[in-house]
C-alpha cells in the first residue's frame, strides 16, 4: 500500500529549522482559522480535512522525539512520494494500529464528526509512529478508563459442624483491595503518583460481612457472594467474593460426606444382653437400643441424624460400638465376673 508523504513543515508554514515557539504559534493561528466549527456548512468537510492535517503536523513537530524521527525518515521520501509501508511494519514488532481516535491538544478538543474508526491521523503518520506514539507526548500517559470488572476475591470461611447443622449466622472480617478514593484507581494525581495508594490505584479496606452458614457447607466448597469482591473501575461491576469453606475438626464427630461418625462405649453386660445406651448427636443426646449379642466395633446407623442437605433432608449418624469395661469395678461386680469365669471355664478358648 502506497503512503503519501506529508510535509508537516509546509502544512504549518514553518521553516525546517523553526523553533518550538514558531511551531506553536503557527499551529494556533492555523487551528483557529481552519477550525471546522467556524466554517459555513458547505466548507465544513474540507475544513475538517485541513484541520486534521494541521493537528497531525503539530502533533509531530511540537514533540522533539517525533520531530527528529520524522526528519530522519522524511528524507527517504524526498526522492519519491510513496513508499511501501508493509516493509516498514515488519520492522516494528508489537505495532498496534488501532489506537488512534480523537485527540486533545492544547485545550482544543476536536473530533472528526461521523467518521467512526477512520482515525485522526493519516496513513503516513501511522506508518512512522504507529499506535505507540499517538495521543501521547510528555508526562505520564493517561490510562484508558474502560469499565473493568472488579477482581474476584477469595477468603476462607471456617465453620464448625454445629454452625452448619444449625444454620447459624456468621460474621466475617477480611481485607479487600478497593479502588483508591483519592485518585479513583488511576494511581495518579496530576502528573505525580498518588500517595494514598502508592500509585497502585488500590487500597486495602477492612470489610465485614454476615452470612448464614449454608446447609451444604463442606470443606472445599466455594460460596459465591455476588458483588462483594473487589471494587471496579469507573462504570464497571464489582467482583465477587468466594468463600472457601473449611470445616473445623470436631472433638466428637467425624464428617464423611453428609454422614457423621462417632464412637460409643458399651459394657460387657450390654453387649451380651442388649439394652439402652445414650448416644451423642449434633442435636443433643438420644437413647438408643442396642440388640443383644452385640460385638465390639459393631456399627449402628441412626437415620437422619447426620448433616443437613440442601433439600431439607439429613445424612445419617453412624455409631461405632466399642466394648470396654467401666473404669471402676466394684468388689461385688468382681465377684460376679469370677462366677462368670468359673461357669465359662476354658470353653471360650484362648483368652488370658
Ligand atoms: Zn490513589
Q: What pLDDT shows up at residue 133?
A: 43
CA of 206 to the centre of ligand 1 (A): 17
Q: What pLDDT shows up at residue 285?
A: 96
Least confident of 25-39, 68-82, 309-323: 68-82
Q: Which domains does the chain have, with CATH numbers?
A: 8-133 (1.10.287.110), 153-247 (2.60.260.20), 254-344 (2.60.260.20)
For the record, the C-alpha cell of 232 comes out as 471496579
CA of 200 to the centre of ligand 1 (A): 7
For the record, the C-alpha cell of 218 comes out as 463442606
CA of 30 to the centre of ligand 1 (A): 39
The Cα 253–Cα 311 span in angstroms is: 23
- Rounded to a whole number of angstroms, the distance between the first and last alpha carbons of the chain is 103
CA of 232 to the centre of ligand 1 (A): 14
Q: What pLDDT shows up at residue 166?
A: 95
**Mean pLDDT, residues 284-300 taken together:** 96
CA of 234 to the centre of ligand 1 (A): 14
> What confidence tier does 118 reach under pLDDT thresholds 50, 70, 90?
very low
CA of 63 to the centre of ligand 1 (A): 29
What ranges make up the beta strands (E) of the chain? Answer: 104-105, 108-109, 153-159, 169-179, 188-189, 192-193, 202-212, 222-225, 241-247, 254-256, 259-266, 275-279, 286-290, 299-302, 317-323
- Convert the pLDDT of each residue in 27-76 to its tens digit: 888 887 877 777 777 887 887 788 888 888 888 898 888 888 788 776 66
CA of 185 to the centre of ligand 1 (A): 6
For CA atoms 187, 193, 195, 200, the dihedral sign is positive
Q: What pLDDT shows up at residue 109?
A: 29
CA of 132 to the centre of ligand 1 (A): 26
Q: What pLDDT shows up at residue 288?
A: 97
The Cα 57–Cα 9 span in angstroms is: 7
> What confidence tier does 270 reach under pLDDT thresholds 50, 70, 90?
very high
The Cα 92–Cα 31 span in angstroms is: 32
Q: Report every protein residue that has its C-beta within 5 angstroms of ion ligand 1.
A: 180, 182-183, 194, 196-197
Better-scored residue on pLDDT, 285 or 68: 285
The Cα 197–Cα 319 span in angstroms is: 56
Amino acid at each position: 500500500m502506497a503512503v503519501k508523504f506529508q510535509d508537516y513543515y509546509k502544512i504549518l508554514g514553518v521553516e525546517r529549522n523553526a523553533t518550538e515557539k514558531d511551531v506553536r504559534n503557527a499551529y494556533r493561528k492555523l487551528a483557529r482559522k481552519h477550525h471546522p466549527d467556524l466554517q459555513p456548512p458547505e466548507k465544513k468537510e474540507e475544513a475538517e480535512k485541513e484541520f486534521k492535517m494541521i493537528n497531525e503536523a503539530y502533533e509531530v513537530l511540537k514533540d522533539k522525539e517525533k520531530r527528529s524521527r520524522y526528519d530522519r525518515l522524511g528524507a527517504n521520501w524526498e526522492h519519491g512520494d510513496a513508499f511501501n509501508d508493509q516493509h516498514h511494519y515488519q520492522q516494528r514488532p508489537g505495532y498496534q494500529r488501532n489506537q488512534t481516535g480523537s485527540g486533545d491538544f492544547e485545550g482544543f478538543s476536536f473530533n472528526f464528526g461521523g467518521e467512526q474508526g477512520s482515525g485522526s491521523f493519516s496513513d503516513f503518520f501511522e506508518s512512522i509512529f504507529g499506535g505507540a506514539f499517538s495521543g501521547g507526548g510528555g508526562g505520564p500517559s493517561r490510562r484508558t478508563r474502560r469499565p473493568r470488572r472488579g477482581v474476584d476475591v477469595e477468603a476462607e470461611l471456617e465453620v464448625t459442624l454445629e454452625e452448619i447443622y444449625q444454620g447459624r449466622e456468621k460474621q466475617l472480617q477480611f481485607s479487600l483491595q478497593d479502588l483508591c478514593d483519592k485518585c479513583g484507581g488511576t494511581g495518579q494525581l496530576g502528573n505525580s503518583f498518588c500517595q494514598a495508594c502508592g500509585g497502585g490505584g488500590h487500597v486495602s479496606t477492612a470489610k465485614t460481612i454476615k452470612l448464614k452458614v449454608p446447609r451444604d457447607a463442606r470443606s472445599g466448597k466455594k460460596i459465591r457472594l455476588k458483588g462483594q469482591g473487589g471494587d471496579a473501575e469507573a462504570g464497571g461491576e464489582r467482583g465477587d467474593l468466594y468463600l472457601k469453606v473449611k470445616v473445623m475438626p470436631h472433638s466428637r464427630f467425624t464428617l464423611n460426606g453428609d454422614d457423621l461418625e462417632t464412637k460409643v462405649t458399651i459394657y460387657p453386660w450390654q453387649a451380651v444382653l442388649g439394652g439402652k445406651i445414650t448416644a451423642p448427636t449434633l442435636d443433643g443426646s438420644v437413647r438408643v437400643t442396642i440388640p443383644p449379642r452385640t460385638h465390639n466395633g459393631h456399627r449402628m446407623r441412626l437415620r437422619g441424624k447426620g448433616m443437613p442437605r440442601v433439600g431439607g433432608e439429613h445424612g445419617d449418624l453412624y455409631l461405632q460400638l466399642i466394648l470396654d469395661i467401666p473404669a471402676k469395678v466394684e468388689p461385688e461386680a468382681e465377684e460376679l465376673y469370677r462366677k462368670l469365669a468359673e461357669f465359662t471355664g476354658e470353653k471360650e478358648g484362648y483368652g488370658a
